[in-house]
Chain A
Amino acid sequence: MKSEVKARPVNRSRGRRLGAFVFLSPGLAYLVVFMLVPLALLLSTTVFRRGRFGGVVYEFTAENFERLVDPLYLGVLVDSLKIATLTTLIALLIGYPTAYVIARLPRKWKTIALVAIVLPFWTNFLIRVYAWIMLLSGPGLVNSALKVFGLGPLEVLYTEGAIVTGLLYSYLPLMVLPLYAAIDRLDPQLREASSNLGASAFTTFRKVTLPLTMPGVLTGSLFVFVPSFGNFVIPEMLGGSKSIMVGNLIRDQFLKARDWPFGATLALALIVVLVVLLVAQSWVARRA
């Protein structure tokens, strides 16, 4: 590299700059026009008043942020956090042993098991949610099963439990894959050494396996948490009208209430929570 720059210094460096321009400018221009400008416009509306029929009136105000800390809206944010956290924890509890078993399978079965985990993820998202409406509703399979044991019928659809089930169903593969990648890389000799030195299975897991697979745990958790937290389709379809999450609130501000500034403020809150999590994740990952 260095000798070649010496051989034709002027020519190459000008070519480099032209090359950088040719390759980078179309994509970056697209990102600026269709992402950065829209985001800037969106977030700038948070400090303005709402227009009567959507849009924005350019008078400064803090009322959007005051409304955000209103217990009503703060409650929705806290509820969304709670639901997304619960989903992530359950996904971790089921996903970890699943990924662990897959990583220990013989090669041929490993591939099949992995493809089988990802397969449902490649089907239409709404179809997957629809399947759960069918299973959880009054005459659905869940209540039919309960009836066999002389139980029910239970009101399972349109509860927070139904939302968590739907989110878990949609995003479980995103938990298993990074966990699998982390566990698969683990050297089995480390666990052998640990148990040879007298550590119990649980101690080996806690002191060896878990710390070494922590990056996978963090990535998987983030992959499940992020789409769960901002989701509005699953809460709407499985949670009914009683329970709403921050995604529904944002959607309604834009399509029903026509209050862009407040909708944008809610979106800002969503982004802030996610950025805090990303920063925390990279901080923990660096320490681990």
Chain B
Amino acid sequence: MSTPLAPARPARISLAVRDSSTMLRRNLLHARRYPSMTLNLLLTPVMMLLLFVYIFGDVMSAGIGGGGADRSAYIAYIVPGLLLMTIGSTTIGTAVAVSMDMTEGIIARFRTMSVHRGAVLVGHVVGSVLQSVASVVLVGAVAVAIGFRSTDATVLEWLAAAGLLGLFALALTWIAVGMGLVGPNPEAASNNAMPLILLPLLSSAFVPVDAMPGWFRPIAEYQPFTPAIETLRGLLLGTEIGHNGWLAVAWCVGLAVLGYAWSKSRFDRDPK
């Protein structure tokens, strides 16, 4: 008789993937079963798009491109910003969902099960990024329907634009997860996440930074949305990207890493 071998433990990484995808399925089930939150957050950027194009459009367009721009030029101008704003607005939902989840007894249950530690958060993050992608596609479709056209963008530029949107979604999602974890309740989490939807209003999304008062320009210029918007605009419409490309990627990577470290340390703490 020889020492029985312990049953081969599935590799740690495959367990992590398996548990994370289980958590992802749970989150997608929530989103599908209760779509009102998702729709509500989706409505904001669509409303903004219609509002700025059809109500303020004539006035706003007068302010860009030296005053000669028409409505279709203004659509082209604001769509990149609105796509990124869509991501910001979706991730507010993430902060609320994470915060709600943390108040549920089921999270305590997960913590006492032999489940991969990161799975709960990874499930939220992947689910939220997928939701962001779906929202961006939807808002993009509305934009195309009212006349947005991406002029002379190459396939490579399209891919780069998609990559930037995905990376941006990942970065904001990890930050939103952290905001959801520190918020004592869903309302507080929602307040914590307000900058994610307010920052685009203070960026070059709706009006060029040059058109803002001098004291305000640095704020608009050096926040994460503006370089991302300028990069996306350049990729889709062929405007000047300059240093904004690297700046946008740096912001995304920095925020993602920061958000991940923050969320992980909050989640690993003993629950109250």
User: A and B bound?
Assistant: no
What residues make up the interface of A, taking CB atoms closer than 8 Å to B?
A: none
